[in-house]
Amino acid sequence: MPLCGHLLLTVTIWSAFVGCQKPSSVSTRHDVYIAGFFPYTPIEFPESRIGRGVMPAVKLAVEHINDSPQVLRNYRLHMWWNDTKVMQFAILADSSPAQQYTYANAPPV
């Protein structure tokens, strides 16, 4: 399956803390970071329209998660994103704190 034929949406979850710790206070919100890698550059990638279309949906989902008292209580979700035109995943993975990785591959529209 050719990589250029699919949107490679890589989501990396970082926690600002090491391990799984329980929040010490109900009023304290811990930050959780996800990183999205989207084909975004129009010149090099014809699929960039997919990346530009997916990005607003991901941002809206993060906003809804943060606004909901039932989802990720005591946590605040943030998204960092990068264009996939180079090896952004390797660069970001090397410079981050404790990591968990989840990969998703979406077919082209």
Task: Compute the distance between CA of residue 33 and CA of residue 19 in angstroms, rounded to an integer.
Answer: 14
Per-residue confidence (pLDDT) for residue 17, from 0 to 100: 33
- Divide the 109 residues of the chain into consecutive groups of 10 and give the mean pLDDT of each group: 36 35 63 84 69 86 93 89 63 56 52
Considering the entire predicted model, what is its pTM? 0.53
Q: Which long-range contacts (CB under 8 A, 24 or more apart) does 21-25 make?
A: 23/74, 23/75
